[in-house]
Amino acid sequence: MGRISFTGARVFDGAGFRDGALILEAGRVAGFGAPEGEVVELAGGVIAPGFLDLQVNGSGGVAIDGETDLAVLETVCAVQGRLGATGCLPTLITDRPEATARVVQAGIAATKAQVPGFLGLHLEGPHLDVRRKGAHDAGLIRPMEGRDLDLILEAASELPALMVTVAPESVSDAQIAAMTAAGVVVSLGHTECGAGVARAAMAAGARCATHLFNAMSQMGNREPGMVGAVLGSGGFAGLIADGVHVDVLTLRVALAAKREGVFLVSDCMALAGTEGTEFRLGGRRILRRQGRLTLEDGTLAGADLTLPQAVKVLVEDVGIAAERALAMASAIPAAVIGRGDLGHLRPGARADMVHLGPDWALRGVWRGGVAV
């Protein structure tokens, strides 16, 4: 395969904008400069590293649940590729132990099959706080037991990456330490804990927070809560930037307070990539209305969002620099899961990339230099 040069759009390499054309060869970044070989002329906008979504509950009409198998993960990753996420962590929310075990086995199968875009799994629950359950089934939330920890440690040894969302109320510091030692990304969320408890969990090894502001104790003047602990920490935090889950003004304040480590997640559900208006989650109806996904009682249930849409919100509504917004969808989530080979377009890197138009709408996606 000869060289291919992309021109006509600014190139963001994961850290900043580069001058010249983006030049690819054999599915990898060859460099930047004067166009060489075949030339692809783009109509303005930005080329960026392929986006990475670490919280994907489903896509293409299928959900990550107790029926998940290899085919479901293949569907989710393929649809996410078309939506701009060249890599993702399919995410299981609170469910029964047998459902967790089945999803883990499907993830191991996807790893062995080298499913394009499959980066590992995210287990969001069931070890949460029922007081901050959100759309999770309260009847299935429970403390972590020895068998749960054993399954997580085994999964971590078989998967390329594993993120586990827990509430400090439902796990011990020793369990957090054991997961961290095994390479698990322990993320705190769905918790009513105060800042002191949260900071103790961080000291034990938790280094991430799940959908900042949502389903967690808020920041107060005398009790900083989970939000205050996250904003005052050096760890990572996922953020649903749709202007619905977190108000635009709150987004602006949070990003001013925490300059590093915040990354974008879609928290999308089975309807992502479809025109559907509802589906069932654990026997409950999830409704899609006016850019929201909710239970019938109005409780938010995931988000009707893609990462390109979130970047647009950050740049146009929140007002942060394009470089920071793009890094929040690429280089930073890559760092969260320890994938230094992803999230950038440096020479030698795999040519996973997206093209966003001048209006920040998704115009094209490539995996390994091949158009999706």
297 given a catalytic annotation? no
Q: Please provide the distance, in angstroms rounded to a whole number, between the alpha carbons at the two ends of the chain.
A: 18
* Paired strand residues for 186: 164
Q: Specify the 3-state DSSP secondary structure of 204.
A: helix
Residues 6+ apart with CB under 8 A from 230: 188, 198, 209, 212, 237, 258
Q: Please answer whether residues 174 and 200 qualify as being in contact, where contact means their C-beta atoms are separated by less than 8 angstroms.
A: no
Residues 6+ apart with CB under 8 A from 145: none
DSSP string, 314-333: IIIII---HHHHHHHTTHHH
Locate tokens 């026997």: which residue? 283
CA pair distance 231, 245, nearest whole angstrom? 17
User: Quick one: which of 114, 102, 105, 101 has its CA closest to 74?
Assistant: 114
Q: Which of 13, 65, 242, 267 is catalytic?
A: 267
Alpha helices in 232-315 (DSSP H): 248-257, 307-312
Residues 6+ apart with CB under 8 A from 256: none
CA pair distance 40, 58, nearest whole angstrom? 33
CA pair distance 67, 341, nearest whole angstrom? 32
Active-site residues, by number, are 267
